[in-house]
Amino acid sequence: MRATWAVLLTALLVLSFGPSANAQTTTGGFSGNVVDDAGLVLPGVTVTLLQEETAAVRSTVTNEVGVFNFAAVQPGPYTVRVELPGFSTYELTGAQLATNQQYNVGTVELSIAALEETVQVTAQRIVETISSDRSALITEETIDAITVRGRDVTSMLRILPGVGYQPDPDAIGEIVIGSWLPNVGGTRQGWSTVTIDGIPGNDIGLPEVSSHSMNPDAVGQVNVQLTNFTADTGRNGGAQINLVTKAGTNNFSGSAYTYGRSEQFRADNYFDKQAGIPKPEYRYWTLGANAGGPIVQDKMFIFYSYEQWGVRTPQSLAQITVPSLAERMGDFSQSFDQSGNLIPVVDPMTGMPFPGNVVPGDRINSHGQALLNWYPNPNVSEQSNYNYQFQGQQRAPRINNVTRVDLRPTTNDSIYARFSHWLQPTSSWRGNWEMLERTFTYNDYAISVNYTRVIGDNMVNEFNFGWRHSSEHNPWASSFDINRNRRIDSATNFPGDDGRDNGGDGSNTAGTVPYTLAQWYPNNNLYGIIPAMSFGAPIPNAANVSWDSRFINYGNDDLFNFYNGLSWTTGRHNFKAGIYVEHLTNIEGKGASALAGIYDFNRDPANPFDTGHPYANALIGSFRSYQENTARLGQRASQWIGNVFIQDKWQPTDRLTLDIGMRFSKYTVFEQANPSASFLPSRFDHSNPAQLYMPTMVNGVRMAMNPNDPTDIQPEVVIGALAPGSPADNGMVRHTDSEVPAPFQNLPALLFEPRVGFAYDVFGDGRTAVRANFGVFHNTQQAGALSWRQALNPPLVATPQVWYNTMNNWGSIREGVLAGTGGIVYPTGTVYGVVTDHQAPTLYSFTAGVQTEIGFQTVLDIAYVGTRGRNLPQLWDENTVPRGARFLPANQDQTTGRPLPDNFFRPYPGYASIIMTENAGKSEYNALQTQVNRRFTGGLEFSVSYTLSQSKDYTSADILYGARSRVPKYEDLDAWSWGLSDFDRTHLLTINYTWDLPDSGGGAGWLLDDWVLSGITQFVSGAPATVSFSTTDNQDILGGGDLLRRSSNPDGLGSVGLVVPANIDRSCDVSAGGGTIDRWFNTSCFSRPALGEVGNVRKDDLRLPGFYDTGIRLGKRIAVGDSQFFEVGWEIYNVFNQVQFLRVDLDAQFDEMGNQVDERFGQVISARPPRTMVFSARYSW
């Protein structure tokens, strides 16, 4: 046996050095052993496996120790038949196999029989006696009955132990490209892998999201390997969520259905009702159908599913002030501020108001007037703070097509192929008026092919290939929509950045806005859209214009994977060895924050061309500033993932199973095909730092002075800009630099992932098992976000800016910018870098538990689950100003007596924030996970899962931008950042049930019989939270540093900010007098830190409100023929309409004396969804 292991390991190690490996499979297996009535092993016994729905048959014989094994078996119901001439025949029926399950038939005893005799047994084995990993199954029946408002399969995972709480979305694909994944077993969201028929479904750019969506009526079962799986499984270290699509059978069957809900059957949100806000429109409807059956009886089968969603929700009500018709012609005589005072319009040439507050026609700039005329006309009168009102609608339909074909050409060969398409075109209005109706269209195509070949009695090979293509694109809804936003001199026929026709309906024509000033960098604006514009006071609710930086937004993700696994049985060893390869490509559209240019028309007394009215500034062509990006860049990056594994499931005795395996893993990080750059601190030349324009006084006026040329005097707004000749890329390394590795990181050559575990059948009757295991896992899929941001770093792109000028001078302005003699450039707001020494994110997982049958087809499962994460991704700002730096005399502005802007004394001059990424975080999770599960028997199915857990870390997400992964630069992380995870929930109890209500037995059975009641009830602890503060006197408490906390998010989803922590009195009872809507916690425990004092509130000193929720479904079935029925359903979520608190105001505000003056501090400020009803109807045959 040692020689066998040595040969296999040598061969597999050779394979692993290429771009190889990671097991993704949808199959399971059956195993057992056969003895006679004296307990002696019986070799040569024929064992037949029959698929009860398709009549597919596989046969094998027991080996020399009486063991049989069927590997690579598709999920479904099976009959196992064991027979040997001269002995009784054993037949096990109704053995339901799940994905990745090893079904233990157990020890089959055959008695000597003179006559043909068959012992028939109905499958009842529900304790996992030969598997050491922790897994759970959501069956087709549970999927059909479970109550989730949005019909999202990932939301159904909440019924399982160890699955963190996540709010039930309103629809599949709630965040347009997919659905957030839950935290499972204390791991980060992106560490879990969702597969559908073996194809990974995690989004490539944002792995925390499952973007390979599938309607639940197309899903046959969901197998979830919660923690610590064997070596033949596991793309990442988190849970493996395996969805298997339905397949056709020998019987034609199918269903047609519809679901609907609207605001008429939805209660008022508590806080909206208190504020007098009317109930918004809320329209969701679903229409679907599916069918399956044989193409060729016993040989070829087909299944098809179609589902369509209609979703319509209102956008926020916009109330803005657009230029009046008179103002567009120069007449500002009726332009008043909110106090009713006339806003004087000053002639910049005289410094006096225009006569009658009217701009003469010869002073109007045609380009500025064209921009004002572009706005819609006012539609509201007699309002002091707005003259235009608009509320658009967002329409978000979804269409899902799924087709699967299964073929069994011989008894030794089985093949299936699945094709699916998810389409989600979400349309909404951009801006606060009918500016542009855009459609964000998300497509996801997938093909999965599986081929299983039985090679002999004890050997099976399984091959799986998968391909996914996802795309996002947001063209306009029609040519009219875009043309009214395009310059009149724009091209009439143009491809987008992605090479496709972006004209919506294909009728590309010229734009309609007569603004024709030439852009500095026109290649950034292929569509010829007009510039963005900002206006402000004294105009109330001014109508500002902005564009998406990636307009027109597009992106493509491509993934292909293949898996090949060979299984064979030798003695009491069931071996499995295999290889998995995955290649991912992430393409993100070109981005530029000022792709069409940005005008700032706000009033500024220092602007010599200012009129005092922002709309009047635009009318005469006067602007405070104008800026454009020098380039528009995007991402095209790819990554390889590979694994080779060998796994042995060894049963040294009938009651003991040992799982022993090793996985060898190799991966790359995303590497750009486009130009990219990354900040490397060691390459920063401190002897040649960037020089910034300094503040100076000129004739009593504060101005900006070039430190290299004191005669170069600029307006005050230029203070802090880069002086001419300053290096724009100090510390930046390019992708072409031969001295740094290609993806800016040195990657590990080969990773070793040992997996060991055991399962012990305590009494030998299959009713109680003790299981334990240990494994090492690596998170091999890296988010594409980091490489994307490296494609936007300087010197690849800059943003020159011109101050205080007019459109009348545009020719000379443009000429100067392009010649490099005009335009001011400021330090880049945020640049990105990565630590060169890449450490593989690692998870050490260990579990121990007992599973026992307690009668009534009910199993009790109790387990301790622990994980330790190391080398977790996190980021910090390398250019953070040290604490106290603003207080130093050298950093004071002599012209104001206040500190200079931070950019003057940052560690790396010439940049603002420098976000560095490093795999150096850690986490710790300990949990008691308990589940009581009863399979559907006697009309009743239920499960009760309870998790008592604690999760700690530095930071809780892999998202490598924003604040969710931020840690401080200067502080000890164990002292400052270590604490409860954002997603930590001490208690999580979920009750799920389906009950076929008893029939009445009377004459009114048609009315009273065939009712089904199902539901989910959850009790969840609140998430940890911190308290921040601000001051009324704007006192700088610390003078720099990065002692900030991440703001609290009650459900751990989406973005968070960075906040300054307050002080807490540790002797104070934070909970005293709290727990109410007006006072959730004792606000008197918190105070203002003294000057120079660091707030001592930890990130987990508070808990946000916990909650409980009950959702039920009542269904009535009406038979309409043989095997046909009609069913109506009524679902109610938050049945009792209990106000479930969500957010709490955690931001204190202190005055100069230290008094807390924010009356809302400590109050509950939002609630979870109110009672919502869903109605459904279904016809099945």
What's the pLDDT tens digit per position in 1023-1060? 999 999 999 999 999 999 888 887 777 776 656 778 88
Q: Which structural domain, as residue segments, surrounds residue 100?
A: 2-133
**Alpha-helix runs per DSSP H in 908-977:** 973-976
Residue 63 CB contacts under 8 Å (≥ 6 apart), including other chains: 43, 457, 458, 569, 570, 571
pLDDT in tens, 985-1037: 999 999 999 999 887 766 566 677 889 999 999 999 999 999 999 999 999 99
Q: What is the pLDDT of residue 1044?
A: 80
- In this structure, what is the dihedral angle of CA atoms 1107, 978, 785, 791, given to the nearest 10 degrees? 150
Neighbours of 280 (CB within 10 A): 15
Q: Looking at the chain, how many residues does it have?
A: 1181
- Per residue in 414-470, pLDDT (tens digit) is 999 999 999 999 888 877 788 887 778 899 999 999 999 999 888 999 999 999 999
Helix (H) or strand (E) holding 913: strand 911-937
In the structure, what pLDDT confidence band is assigned to residue 125 with cuts at 50, 70 and 90? low
Residue 2: pLDDT over 60: no
**Which of the two residues, 1036 and 121, has the higher pLDDT score?**
1036
**Residue 498: closest CA among 634, 630, 631:** 634
Beta bridge partners of 124: none
Q: In angstroms, what CA-CA distances link 537 with 303, 534, 580, 597?
A: 62, 11, 61, 22
Does the pLDDT of residue 767 top 50, yes or no? Answer: yes
Residue 315 above 90 pLDDT? no
Residue 506, pLDDT score: 43
- Range in 703-707, 927-931, 1120-1124, 1131-1135 with the lowest mean pLDDT: 1120-1124
Q: Is residue 86 predicted with pLDDT exceeding 50?
A: yes
Four-residue CA torsion sign, 1042, 1043, 1047, 1048: positive
Examine residue 778 and state whether it is found in any structural domain, yes or no.
Answer: no
pLDDT the model gives residue 123 = 61
Residue whose C-alpha is closest to residue 618's, from 635, 600, 631, 630: 600
Beta strands in 715-857 (DSSP E): 732-734, 751-761, 768-778, 801-806, 828-834, 842-855
Distances (CA, A) of 635 to 74, 182, 365, 835: 39, 28, 39, 20
Q: What average pLDDT is seen over the chain? A: 89
- 820 inside domain: no
Nearest to 182 by CA among 208, 149, 215: 208
Report the domain count for the chain.
1
Please report which confidence band the pLDDT of residue 130 belongs to, taking 50, 70 and 90 as the band edges: confident
Asked whether residue 353 carries a pLDDT value surpassing 90, the answer given is yes
Please write the tens of the pLDDT for every residue from 257-278. Answer: 999 999 999 999 999 888 888 8
Q: What is the pLDDT of residues 192-244, one digit of tens each?
A: 999 999 999 999 888 889 999 999 999 999 988 888 888 988 778 889 999 99
User: Do the domain assignments include residue 1035?
Assistant: no
**7 assigned to some structural domain:** yes
User: Which phi and psi (to 5°) does residue 1142 adopt?
Assistant: -120, -70
- Phi and psi at 585, nearest 5°, equal -125, 130
pLDDT higher than threshold 80 for residue 558:
yes
pLDDT score for 1054: 59
Measure Cα distances from 344 to 536, 609, 793 in Å. Answer: 15, 15, 44
- Using one digit for the tens of pLDDT, what is the confidence trace for 28-37? 899 999 988 8
Where does 28-157 have alpha helices with state H?
140-145
In a domain, 106, yes or no: yes
Instruction: List the CATH number of the domain containing 16.
Output: 2.60.40.10
User: Residue-wise over 428-461: b if at least 16 C-beta within 10 A, else e?
Assistant: bbbbbbebbbbbbbbebbbbbbbbbbbeebbbbb
Q: What is the DSSP string of 378-415?
A: P---S-SS-SEEE--EEE--EEEEEEEEEEEEETTEEE
Q: Give a yes or no: residue 6 inside a domain.
A: yes
In this prediction, residue 3 carries a pLDDT of: 42
Using pLDDT thresholds of 50, 70 and 90, give the confidence band for residue 363: very high
Domain membership of residue 744 (yes or no) is: no
Contact 1032, 1151 (CB under 8 A): yes
Token pair 């947001």 in the structure block, residue: 474
Q: What is the CA radius of gyration of the chain?
A: 33
Three-state secondary-structure class, residue 1158: coil
Query: How far is it, in rounded angstroms, from Cα 937 to Cα 186?
Result: 33
Average pLDDT on 1167-1171 reads 93
The pairing of beta strand 532-534 with beta strand 598-600:
parallel
